[in-house]
Amino acid sequence: MARRGPFNPDLREQLAEEAARLIRDHGIQDYGFAKRKAAARFGVSGAGALPRNSEIEARVLERQRIFEGGEHDQRLTGMRELAVDLMAILEGFEPRLAGAVLTGAITVSTNLELHLFTDAPEEVVAVLQDHRYTVRNCQRRYRYNSQETVIVPGFRFKTRGESVYAFTFPEKGLRRAPMSPIDGRPMRRVDRAKLVALLEPA
């Protein structure tokens, strides 16, 4: 029987831990799905008991530190270095890195997410093809507020063993970031210079 009742911080913590385990061990990228799956395993119903995505992400990062250590750091550095190289190729489109490769909460199935800004997406294809990437069309739904959701077109390709998704926002979109699915705030995005700074030894 599903459990309902007043807020239980211990149960909420257990759900966050289970969702983080599912994300890390099974490569689930949808935090909402992982949260619902964890709730089903514990027989919990009602949104009040569910942890926030930011709580789950914090536990994903903690699990990575404990169980993966250097292996996680090595892959994260490799993905960020790949982003630096791709952003140089795509510099004409004001590229920004977003998503798990920026936050560090990567899993085995994490894709590299780049945001490009252009009113002529076909020019992105031309640049990528000039560098001999095999490009496929894709799209992703981004939320800007509780009432505005936009489907953003993009392109996907593989390189160095990683899947890359480059989404093309209008040029004016550079000044307005969509909401993060983790904390509901404007999504964090960094340019190439800031990403290079992240890669420098502390």
* Residue type, position 120, single letter: A
Place of tokens 């093309």: 168
Place of tokens 């799905």: 33
| Nearest by Cα to 179 from 140, 137, 124 | 140
Cross-strand partners of 114 = 97, 166
Alpha-carbon span 168 to 60, nearest angstrom: 29
Pair 110, 64 in one domain? no
Does 188 map to a domain?
yes
pLDDT at 4 over 80: no
Chain mean position to CA 87 = 17
Average pLDDT rounded to a whole number, residues 4-8: 50
Domain that holds residue 60: 9-68
Pair 111, 194 in one domain? yes
Q: Of the residues 68, 85, 106, which one is the last residue of a structural domain?
A: 68
Whole-model pTM: value is: 0.80
Pair 142, 184 in one domain? yes
* Least confident residue range of 40-54, 132-146, 151-165, 180-194: 40-54
Pair 19, 93 in one domain? no
Domain total in the chain: 2
**Helices (H), ranges, 50-120:** 53-63, 70-89, 100-103
pLDDT at 65 over 80: no
Does 4 map to a domain?
no
Pair 180, 118 in one domain? yes
Q: Of the residues 49, 68, 87, which one is the last residue of a structural domain?
A: 68
Query: In this structure, what DSSP letter does residue 112 have?
Result: E
pLDDT more than 70, % of the chain: 92
pLDDT at 68 over 70: no
Pair 63, 80 in one domain? no
* Residue type, position 137, single letter: N
